[in-house]
Amino acid sequence: MEDQSFIQKIEELSLNALPALQTHLFDGWVLRFADGYTKRANSINALYFSKQEVEQKIDISEQIYEKRNLRTVYKITPQVFPQNLDKSLDERDYVLEGITSVQLLPLEKIELHSAQNVEVYEYLHDSWLSAFCRLSKIKENDQSTMKQILRNIVPGICYAMVIDDNGNVVACGRGVLEGEYIGLYDIITDEKYRYKGYGEKLVLQILQWGKESAAKFAYLQVMISNVPALNLYSKIGFEEKYSYYYRIKK
């Protein structure tokens, strides 16, 4: 398992790359709220040292989320405080979901160059937003929340789209740059155009943008059930450093 400082670093980067609409700090826990759009932005991240009794904290946290008509969700990494948090949630019948691999790639290990037919924007472009909502099948009532979240991102960001010869957007994603790290997020390829190299072209272009912006490492989070994505990232050179999952109140 990776050391605690590395896990904390990546977890903080991921919080900044997808900021919640509201954040509440509670005795070392980071409670996030975003009108229910994604588990990641509506979950409890037990990142820092905790003093208060865990069962009491769980009770209070449940009340906070229930008042907002949200499920109580915990993100469980190898480094949570207190260490018995996952055991306590399991005993309360919290369901385990969404096992996710966190992977890292030193950019010095790969040769990168700009790709053709890839458009890159350093701001939230309407055409990217439209393509992402279409490809990811974002519900209409979630689109305004998503847009607000993306506009609240503080670190540097690039929005990338792959355009085919007929002018169709066939893949899109974004990279978030903070310090020496470029994170890959929202990588999606049109179902009709998969297994044609568009996803790889997209990822490599985002990594190129990051490297040109002084990034030394790339990181990503991918569900272990997403075998095609796992194969792609392995081909590029990413390696797993740790994994996490969610505990969700029934």
Q: Give pLDDT tens digits for 3-29.
A: 889 999 999 999 999 999 999 999 999
Taking only Cα atoms into account, the Rg of the chain, rounded to an integer number of angstroms, comes to: 18
Rounded Cα–Cα distance for residues 240 and 105 (Å)? 9
Rounded Cα–Cα distance for residues 249 and 89 (Å)? 8
User: Which pLDDT value is given to residue 114?
Assistant: 81
> Residue 180: CB partners within 8 Å, gap ≥ 6?
214, 215, 216, 217
Do 176 and 185 touch, CB atoms closer than 8 A?
yes
User: In the CATH scheme, what is the homologous superfamily, with its name and number, of domain 105-241?
Assistant: Gcn5-related N-acetyltransferase (GNAT) (3.40.630.30)
Sheet of 239-248: strand order equals: 22-26, 29-33, 44-45, 73-76, 239-248, 95-106, 217-223, 181-189, 169-178, 156-163, 118-121
Long-range CB contact pairs, 130-137, < 8 A, 24+: 131/161, 131/169, 131/172, 132/172, 132/186, 132/188, 135/169, 135/171, 135/172, 135/188, 135/189, 135/190, 136/186, 136/188
User: Which pLDDT value is given to residue 174?
Assistant: 98
Do 216 and 177 touch, CB atoms closer than 8 A?
no
User: Which pLDDT value is given to residue 119?
Assistant: 96
User: Which pLDDT value is given to residue 228?
Assistant: 94
User: Which pLDDT value is given to residue 1?
Assistant: 54
pLDDT < 70 regions, the chain = 1-2
| Amino acid occupying residue 191 | E
All structural domains of the chain with their residue ranges: 4-101, 105-241
User: Which pLDDT value is given to residue 151?
Assistant: 96
| 230 token code pair | 């796992």
Distance of CA 83 to the CA centre of its chain: 23
DSSP codes of every residue in 176-214? EEETTEEEEEEEEE-GGGTTSSHHHHHHHHHHHHHHHTT
Task: Burial-class residue 227 by CB neighbours within 10 Å (0-12, 13-18, 19+).
Answer: exposed
